Amino acid sequence: MFFRTNQFQYNARPEAPDPVYARKLQEVLGGQWGEISVMMTYLFQGWNCRAPAKYRDMILDIGTEEIAHVEMIATMIARLLESSPVEAAEEAAKNSAVGAILGGSRLEDVIVAGMNPQHAIVSGGGAVPADSVGYPWTARYTIASGNLLADFRFNVTAESQGRLQVCRLYELTDDPGIRDMLSFLIARDTMHQNQWLAAIAELEADGLDATPVPKAFSREKEMGDVAYQFWDCSGGSESREGRWASGPTPDGTGEFVYLGKPSPLGEVVECLGPVDPRLFGTPKALQPPT
């Protein structure tokens, strides 16, 4: 059961409307690394969790927090849309540099280029579950595999990408209200990156999984000869200077080997066999009609 309160986790009020910035902010709402993505990812990871209760509870704590972040950003977008795009374009034109850019352009073209038309046509001045170019949010952005070590590593990436984008958005506005909210979200992303790194360490300390994931798969079933080889498959040899090219492996069970000129190990394939003629693929030779 979920309960909602009218009091936000943190403020979501801009100093002034800005429909152009509202479009930019859509990225961290409905983009690949946006708040909807991490909200759904964490909730499904938690709902599917079969590990000790501390992990399930922790995952659902952060997943529920992300619902609050979705509402904050959606509300901020709605408030940024409280003026018309015409007013926004006219205000922008007052700036001499922007006015020079807009000179000779039709106002309608400027509006369409600067703001998301769906904010006016579809949502009536509200946020939409889409990214900054209008691509709809998709459940394919969510990761909930049932293996917590694999998932927690993805979560570090998600929080890193999300924090990166919010930091960039912070630099793209001077509005103190927007920056205030983004500053809060950036700080929470700092916590969440550290949280997932701590959770990874705890999973490993608890012996529930290890590198390489999954621990339960028998290493005897993999081709051990190539398990720790670094293959230099592009021009240049600078990659041999990295930690990944020599020395003990992080999993503690092998030594990295650098192959400067790796040789292919597979068969030579020049042509595939035929497919079912009812699929009408191009054959090797002309076939009689059937």
Average pLDDT over residues 231-250: 96
Tokens (6 digits) for 177? 């209200």
* Cα 275 to the center of its chain, rounded Å: 39
Say if residue 61's pLDDT is above 80: yes
| % of the chain residues with pLDDT over 90 | 81
Say if residue 190's pLDDT is above 90: yes
pLDDT of residue 284: 82
Alpha-carbon dihedral 124, 11, 68, 159, rounded to 10 degrees: 100
Report the 10 Å Cβ neighbour count for 23: 23
Pairing state between β 229-231 and 247-248:
unpaired
Say if residue 96's pLDDT is above 80: no
Average pLDDT over residues 91-102: 51
| % of the chain residues with pLDDT over 70 | 89
Average pLDDT over residues 66-82: 98
Average pLDDT over residues 59-81: 98
CA torsion sign for 207, 210, 213, 217 is negative
Query: In this predicted structure, which of 41-50, 136-145, 267-276 has the lowest mean pLDDT?
Result: 267-276
Mean pLDDT, rounded, of the chain: 91
pLDDT of residue 290: 65
